[in-house]
Amino acid sequence: MTKRRSQSDHDIMVKQVADFFINKNYPQIAADLAGYSKPDILKWQGETSGLISDVTSKQNGSFKIIVEVETEDSVDDQHTEDQWKLFAAYAKRDQAEFLIVVPGNSKRLAEKRKTELGIDGKIVGV
């Protein structure tokens, strides 16, 4: 994975999102950060490698939410496109919610990118 310029901002946001869902008593929260259970590696059928979302909640083996956190400098990355398409497909499969969390000043950019890519999901500005 490409190291973003704003990795520390990203990690702070991931922690905030994970803690938000923990405090709301969502089941089986996993976050791609030290100190949390790691989210599952998600793959397209037939692929050997996969991607890990930033935060997930699962219940009875199915996803309840899948969250990907982006910063202003990562919204337009190819890696981001790959993640959004894969995570949105898993959310659809499990009738879960796919959330893309961005800084408030990046919400419009993220909405535009989501529309361009035809991704089902909700942009949340923080």
Domain that holds residue 72: 7-125
Radius of gyration of the chain (CA): 13
Instruction: Note whether residue 1 is domain-resident.
Output: no
**How many domains does the chain contain in total?**
1
How far apart, in whole angstroms, are the C-alpha atoms of residue 97 and residue 121? 7
Instruction: Note whether residue 91 is domain-resident.
Output: yes
Instruction: Note whether residue 2 is domain-resident.
Output: no
Residue range 39-50: average pLDDT? Answer: 94
Instruction: Note whether residue 66 is domain-resident.
Output: yes
Q: What CATH number is given to the structural domain containing 37?
A: 3.40.1350
Is the pTM higher than 0.85? The answer reads yes
Residue 9: which pLDDT band, with cuts at 50, 70 and 90?
confident
pLDDT digits (tens, 9 = 90+) for 62-105: 999 999 999 988 999 999 999 999 999 999 999 999 999 999 89
